[in-house]
């Protein structure tokens, strides 16, 4: 009932849960209190992934079916036992972000409406040198789970060749994440460059299954998203509940499980039992810290072969060796016949616009393949919005519809000033260079 609250004792503190009976997952009837209880049941594992790290708060104040917003700045009204740290972002802005270290602090942020946890890949005591390389396997539409698993196993081969240990988990959505603990000796640009080298190596090992291509219209199979390692990027961490109707969980796995599991089996109501029975499959990650030297050597070889940098997200400064930051369909010689269908604040509204387009073009829709539907989650000031485009390359030229007025036609910057265009960086990449190694000199 609205307006009620419940106080729970956690880690020697009292945490107030407001509106504990508020339904957060309508299909399952999962309440806010059940969400809190879930996180307390897996707290050690969740803190292993998100603890001691600054965290962007992704708040679903009306539950998983409602709109969310990102809150980078810690709420001004907070207990004195909630820690913060000051972060700077590529935009030049700064913010004090929340850092959690125990179960009480974890319960407190879940009470704010945070369904999943989105920590940065850095520790609170060193904000310039990540301790985690993140491999995000993102399948294009129509790709089956078996192919995603196969690519994950190729990622393991590539990491092993570079002397690194990967720790797989389901993403809680359609993909797989592989996290790698690394020494805190490299800057964000260097970690991203290592991730790009890994992505290209996986692509070379399994060219029919995987791609490192940044632009959606050029992708096939499973995309290895190297840009998740750019500064200010966050990924849902281990044991995060995802805002899906089935309350699916991003669940750590053993490598033996990767080839056989069904990600739909891991939900808010099944993972606590698994955790109680087998513990945290990712418990050893902090004991498997590795060096990026192998991947950076691979990157150097790629550069001698003519492979320079790859595109960055649009809000980052350009690098000297970065290719044109213009999607192929907008270049002078367009390689793909794309049309844009609509833009909307909510995914469901953009999909409704696509349904209206399908009704107007019943002869064209059956000719499209799943990968021809390009659904883009675009970053706004404090939340995301959705754009849907169609690739018409499989439609005969004489049947291809012309670009029409957008439906819906949402303006994410209405009433606001769009962010400034980033200026080119003066060096090989944004950010500071690698700090001196703590390892002793040989000799």
> What would the mean pLDDT of 21-36 be, rounded to a whole number?
97
Reported as a single tens digit per residue, the pLDDT across 37-89 is: 999 999 999 999 999 999 999 999 999 999 899 898 999 999 999 999 999 88
How would you class 440 by CB atoms within 10 Å of its CB: exposed for 0-12, middle for 13-18, buried for 19 or more? Answer: exposed
Instruction: Give the per-residue pLDDT at 122.
Output: 98
Q: Is the pLDDT confidence value at 229 over 90?
A: yes
Q: Is the pLDDT confidence value at 426 over 70?
A: no
Instruction: Give the per-residue pLDDT at 383.
Output: 77
The count of other CB atoms within 10 Å of the CB of residue 355 is: 8
Instruction: Give the per-residue pLDDT at 324.
Output: 64
Q: Is the pLDDT confidence value at 384 over 70?
A: yes
pTM: 0.80
Quick check: 15 and 71 in contact, CB under 8 A?
A: no
Q: Residue for token digits 């004090």?
A: 96
Instruction: Give the per-residue pLDDT at 195.
Output: 98
**Which residues, including other chains, have CB under 8 Å from residue 164's CB and lie 6 or more apart?**
133, 180, 182, 290, 291, 294, 295
Q: In 162-222, which residue ranges form alpha helices assigned H by DSSP?
A: 188-205
Reported as a single tens digit per residue, the pLDDT across 96-113 is: 999 999 999 999 999 999
Q: What share of the chain is helix, strand, coil (3-state, %, to 5)?
A: 30, 20, 50
Listed by start position, the domains of the chain span: 337-399
Reported as a single tens digit per residue, the pLDDT across 100-158 is: 999 999 999 999 999 999 999 999 999 999 999 999 999 999 999 999 999 999 999 99
């Amino acid at each position: 009932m609205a307006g009620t609250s419940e106080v729970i004792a956690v880690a020697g503190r009292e945490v107030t849960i407001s509106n504990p009976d508020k339904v957060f997952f309508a299909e399952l009837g999962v309440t806010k209190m059940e969400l809190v209880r879930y996180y307390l049941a897996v707290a050690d594992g969740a803190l292993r992934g998100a603890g001691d790290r600054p965290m962007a708060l992704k708040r679903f104040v009306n539950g998983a079916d409602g709109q969310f917003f990102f809150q980078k700045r810690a709420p001004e009204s907070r207990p004195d036992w909630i820690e913060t740290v000051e972060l700077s972002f590529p935009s030049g802005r700064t913010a004090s972000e929340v850092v959690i270290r125990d179960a009480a602090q974890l319960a407190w942020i879940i009470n704010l409406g945070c369904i999943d946890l989105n920590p940065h890949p850095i520790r609170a005591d060193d904000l310039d040198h990540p301790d985690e390389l993140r491999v995000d396997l993102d399948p294009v539409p129509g790709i089956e789970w078996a192919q995603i698993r196969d690519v994950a196993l190729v990622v393991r081969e590539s990491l092993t060749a570079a002397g690194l240990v990967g720790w797989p988990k389901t993403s809680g959505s359609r993909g797989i994440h592989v996290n790698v603990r690394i020494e805190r000796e490299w800057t964000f640009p260097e970690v991203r460059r290592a991730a790009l080298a890994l992505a290209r190596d996986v692509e070379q090992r399994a060219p029919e299954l995987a791609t490192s291509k940044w632009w959606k219209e050029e992708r096939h199979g499973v995309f290895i998203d190297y840009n998740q390692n750019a500064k200010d990027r966050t990924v849902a961490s281990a044991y995060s509940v995802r805002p899906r109707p089935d309350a699916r969980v991003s669940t750590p796995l053993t490598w033996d499980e990767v080839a056989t599991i069904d990600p739909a089996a891991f939900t808010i109501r099944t993972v606590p039992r698994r955790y109680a029975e087998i513990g945290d499959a990712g418990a050893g990650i902090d004991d498997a810290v590795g060096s990026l030297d192998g991947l950076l050597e691979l990157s150097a070889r790629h550069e001698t072969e003519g492979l320079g940098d790859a595109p960055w997200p649009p809000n980052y400064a350009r690098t000297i060796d970065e290719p044109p930051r213009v999607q192929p369909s907008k270049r002078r010689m367009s390689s793909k016949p794309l049309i844009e269908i609509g833009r909307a604040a909510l995914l469901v509204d953009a999909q409704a616009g696509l349904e209206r387009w399908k009704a107007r073009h019943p002869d064209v829709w059956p000719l499209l393949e799943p990968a021809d539907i390009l659904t883009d989650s675009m970053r706004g000031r404090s939340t995301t919005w959705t754009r849907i485009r169609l690739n018409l390359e499989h439609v005969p030229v004489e049947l291809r519809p012309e670009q029409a007025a957008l439906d819906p036609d949402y303006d994410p910057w209405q009433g606001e000033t769009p962010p400034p265009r980033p200026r080119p960086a003066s060096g090989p990449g944004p950010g500071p260079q690698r700090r001196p190694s703590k390892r002793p000199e040989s000799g």
